Structure 1
């Protein structure tokens, strides 16, 4: 593999520097580096970040290749600046055995746009009744360390306790989709003023908050790790903040759409805004931003949830829940966190690369941009501003809530272990 010199990049938003890649590795970072024998990428003050890591992606394969595949999903990831994604287990068949997680893992290796780390199901068939083969999935070639029934909540406290006890033996983590099912029967959107006015079934904040409260106490009792998926309410923030103050081993994520969008958008009845958990209030949005800034919320995860056209282009009640997000995540974070002054680019690297890699134990990812480290990198034109056109997405699905919306920032280059997967905004 030839050398590459990235010239004049603002590493983590700092002063412009040159970064020299030789093969799979960063070999030098400094000013005025020699370009002899190297392909030169003129960064012109663009921001260079470590490759992004998404702890919460739905790749749909096996079983729903009409909405996404490992190939199309990882191409979307590379377009968005990601070098590693964690693939959720709610596939068909469910990723609850060593065989299924190994299939997903090897497809990621085969396509080569980013590393794919499968997430194993907590329970057999996501049914919440019997623990899945957690140990076998961990010991498989995929080396699973994160387990989740995402899309469904592990609502049985005994099952959740057993899962926490089991993964503790090998340092794993249970990622909980916090949704008390009895409190959300027939729910269509956030419970509040807007749901009352529209006559849609309300999804109360307490349905999320009560599960988080229970699970942090279980994690404390067991002495294990719990991760909260797509946290969405101000009350949930306060519970996680309290748990961390007690020393409980809890981490939490927020999605880009919960940092920007509110339930007021549901007034359009456009199913593109239907998502689980639902869009919340402006008060919740600002609480989430503040919590991400102060570290109460550890990371940003996309919850990239592709759906074919027919599953979204229908009446609200019948529409599937979810939004695609891999290709717009960094732009939304720039809009909500960087351009508002809540985070600098070093903070973005921390929340979108360093910490998710630590939580998921993604070897070789979330590393400093320095000599000797793997060349997993993302170059961002932060001065760019343009409207979102889903027709240009690499994802197989187009269910984005940002169509036609102007957002800042554009990923121009992505490198996976020194190999360019995205050059000048185009996939290689």
Structure 2
């Protein structure tokens, strides 16, 4: 990992931070680890940084990031995408396989990880393709890619629609001890859908993308995962019925996890019906009732994790007409703000819940709990983010560390924002200038 700003902090004290929003403490860092958690205001020590009022959380893990490199560097690179991740509070991202060429072989897994080792501002984990070239015809060499360093497998952007291939993939991933992450989109039902079926499609005249196109694949794959006894992860759940299916499968004890994106938690198909291509995403923004079901499922644990589906695109591509514009939104730098806003609901933010859904659970699903999503405790790696809970900031699409500006949240105001991220004692982002000030 290449730090974004400077060498390791060495021995340092963060004064007055609030772990999970609780009582303030003085956090002592030494040799890349948490050395002490002292009562706030304890005896002075050199290299002290004032962090009063900031919430201390484990750094986040994103299971679903499109970094575009290789092949899509006009939209994003591993360097720019991981810089955006660091500014969003992330220590780890899972890089989806839909690059050019596709990450569908051990050599290509090693190529992505090699670029990350030279240029990344956070840890990058390669997601291998389930099928060769994402074509949905021939299974990619899953076990060989695991040996090369792949942590998860997905054809995201496309659905593996063939149930025999899904069964074979689950069996292979089960042998390798990894997870299949499915983009649920039945080709026959979703067709050339562009916008949520129902009122949004009727208002715009655009081809409808019905919820059944997602739900039938989710139902099928849950049964296949149960039969194979292998882990299935459902990408970007977007409908109330998908939530109900996942909840039922978990009640049966089946090996399933699920994620939701920030944009599906906050936005509805009403925004998409304006025709603004910033709101064009796959799966599409759904109804207000779906949004409420997703929020409830995140709260009760039916949905395990928040994942951004960060999908950068150049401005010229998004400026096309709706059907000509690509699906996708950026999300790494706004995810925490959106999730905190959704979970706030006038009661204050449950920061322990935020940490579970954005750090602990995704680290567990991705198999990286040895070093990511760790507790805030003495002896643990100094890997955390600092959040300003009173930031009151407005999203400016141009103010991003990423290369593309296609955020759906431009102009919206939020109350919470990551201001610094540290990974194993390395400062990887410092938007608030905390570590640029002279230590006391």
> TM bucket by the smaller chain?
over 0.9
Distance 1:54 1:33, change over 3 A: farther
Equivalent residue for 1:302, pick from 294, 305, 308: 308
Equivalent residue for 1:86, pick from 94, 97, 102: 94
Equivalent residue for 2:50, pick from 42, 45, 63: 42
C-alpha contact (below 8 Å) 1:79/1:425 kept by paired residues:
no
C-alpha contact (below 8 Å) 1:60/1:70 kept by paired residues:
yes
Bigger shift: residues 111-120 or 327-336: 111-120
Aligned to 1:26: 34
1:13-41 Cα shifts (integer Å, max 9, x gaps): 1111111111211111121444423x222
Bigger shift: residues 285-294 or 264-273: 264-273
Equivalences for residues 160-179 of structure 1 within 5 A: 160-179=166-185
Shift of 1:109: 2.1
Equivalent residue for 1:352, pick from 358, 372, 378: 358
SS in 1 for 2:299: helix
Equivalences for residues 96-107 of structure 1 within 5 A: 96-107=104-115
SS in 2 for 1:30: strand
Bigger shift: residues 309-318 or 63-72: 309-318
Aligned to 1:377: 384
Shift of 1:327: 0.4
Structure 2 residues without counterparts, runs of 5 or longer: 1-7
Equivalent residue for 1:242, pick from 238, 243, 248: 248
Shift of 1:4: 1.9
d(CA) in 2 for partners of 1:305, 1:335: 22
d(CA) in 2 for partners of 1:308, 1:6: 39
SS in 2 for 1:371: coil
C-alpha contact (below 8 Å) 1:290/1:342 kept by paired residues:
no
Aligned to 1:421: 428
d(CA) in 1 for partners of 2:42, 2:355: 24
Equivalent residue for 2:165, pick from 159, 184, 193: 159
Shift of 1:424: 4.0
Structure 1 residues without counterparts, runs of 5 or longer: none
1:25-63 Cα shifts (integer Å, max 9, x gaps): 1111121444423x2222212110001000000000000
Distance 1:120 1:34, change over 3 A: farther
Aligned to 2:232: 226
Equivalences for residues 284-323 of structure 1 within 5 A: 284-323=290-329
Give the TM-score normalised by structure 1: 0.97
Matched, 1:366 2:369: no
Equivalent residue for 2:197, pick from 191, 195, 199: 191
Distance 1:99 1:341, change over 3 A: farther
Aligned to 1:411: 418
d(CA) in 1 for partners of 2:241, 2:81: 33
d(CA) in 1 for partners of 2:172, 2:94: 20
Bigger shift: residues 96-105 or 213-222: 96-105
RMSD over equivalenced CA pairs, Å: 1.4
Aligned to 1:254: 260
Aligned to 2:85: 77
Equivalent residue for 1:325, pick from 322, 326, 331: 331
C-alpha contact (below 8 Å) 1:70/1:107 kept by paired residues:
yes
Equivalent residue for 1:145, pick from 135, 142, 151: 151
Distance 1:20 1:162, change over 3 A: same
Distance 1:129 1:341, change over 3 A: farther
Shift of 1:339: 4.1
C-alpha contact (below 8 Å) 2:87/2:431 kept by paired residues:
no
Distance 1:201 1:340, change over 3 A: farther
